[in-house]
Amino acid sequence: MGKLVIMDHPLIQHKITLIRDEKTVTKDFRDLVQELAMLMAFEVTRDLPLKDVQVQTPVSLAKAKVLSGKTVGIIPILRAGLGMVDGILSLVPDAKVGHIGLYRDPDTLQPVEYYCKLPTDAQDRDMIIVDPMLATGGSAIGAIELLKGHGIKNIKLVCLIAAPEGVDAVQKAHPDVDLFIAALDEKLNDHGYIVPGLGDAGDRLFGTK
Ligand code: PRP
Ligand code: URA
């Protein structure tokens, strides 16, 4: 079974409370989602490979380490995942960014794919899928299947708020994928929205409602 990491650092909990608040306006919501993604990226990238190097300090030669290999790819699930990309890029500026376009059919709640563009060297990278919301899990499972279909093996999923139903579904379908979340909420409502959640993440990020 993949890891489930609930990142409950005080700064993360504080910012999650602010994005839940219906009074938080679009600009602040967008800034907070980026900040949360950056804080989470710190832990998500903990096992990146390093190699030994030497560096000349003003005092002496130092044995040191730098990231080794091609490191990371970031895959936002459109639209709302876009809001998390810059936060991760601020810590891992060399990461490449692919995009997967999925929307939830409002009646069936099934994900519908409309776009996919991945880095050409995606198989050599650790892929981090980002999406603020993990509700039924359908979109995340669809995105993971797409990446696996392209031969990608090292996949992590990073979401801000998750429903227990979505966590179970992802862990059952893809037990090899580690899942990082900032909050595990109570349940889904009849429309597939997370309770208490934060409403529609895409609409709140882009001001479309
Ligand atoms: C939201 C969210 C996830 C998905 C989660 O996207 O950003 O991608 O729903 O739901 P699930 O776990 O039940 O699949 P939405 O389909 O509303 O598209 P949008 O980001 O374009 O608004
Ligand atoms: N997508 C959202 O944006 N919010 C939810 O609560 C569920 C799916």
Nearest residue (CA) to ligand 2, atom 3? 200
With a cut of 50, list the residues of the chain below it in pLDDT.
Answer: none
Tokens 């376009």, located at residue: 101
Q: Tell me: the pLDDT tens digits for 31-80?
A: 999 999 999 999 999 999 999 999 999 999 999 999 987 789 999 999 99
Instruction: Answer yes or no: is the C-beta of 77 below 6 A from any ligand 1 atom.
Output: yes
Instruction: State the pLDDT at residue 117.
Output: 97
Instruction: State the pLDDT at residue 65.
Output: 97
SS3 42: helix
Instruction: State the pLDDT at residue 82.
Output: 98
Q: How far apart are CA 150 and CA 75, in angstroms?
A: 13
Instruction: State the pLDDT at residue 128.
Output: 98
Determine the atom of ligand 2 nearest the C-alpha atom of 204: 3
Instruction: State the pLDDT at residue 105.
Output: 87
Please answer whether residues 192 and 109 qualify as being in contact, where contact means their C-beta atoms are separated by less than 8 angstroms.
yes
Instruction: Answer yes or no: is the C-beta of 193 below 6 A from any ligand 2 atom.
Output: yes
Closest Cα partner for 134 from 202, 193, 203, 196?
Answer: 193
- From 33, 133, 179, 203, the mutation candidate for ligand 1 (largest count of ligand atoms within 8 A of CB) is 133
Ligand 2 centroid vs 135 CA: distance in angstroms? 6
- From 186, 193, 203, the mutation candidate for ligand 2 (largest count of ligand atoms within 8 A of CB) is 193
Please answer whether residues 159 and 181 qualify as being in contact, where contact means their C-beta atoms are separated by less than 8 angstroms.
yes
Task: Give the number of the ligand closest to the Cα of residue 200.
Answer: 2
Instruction: State the pLDDT at residue 206.
Output: 97
Give the pair of three-digit tokens for residue 45.
């990238």
Instruction: State the pLDDT at residue 104.
Output: 82
Q: How far apart are CA 104 and CA 110, in angstroms?
A: 5
Determine the atom of ligand 1 nearest the C-alpha atom of 188: 13
Please give the helix or strand (H or E) that residue 182 lies within, else none. strand 178-184
Q: How far apart are CA 20 and CA 131, in angstroms?
A: 15
Question: How many residues are recorded in the chain?
Answer: 209
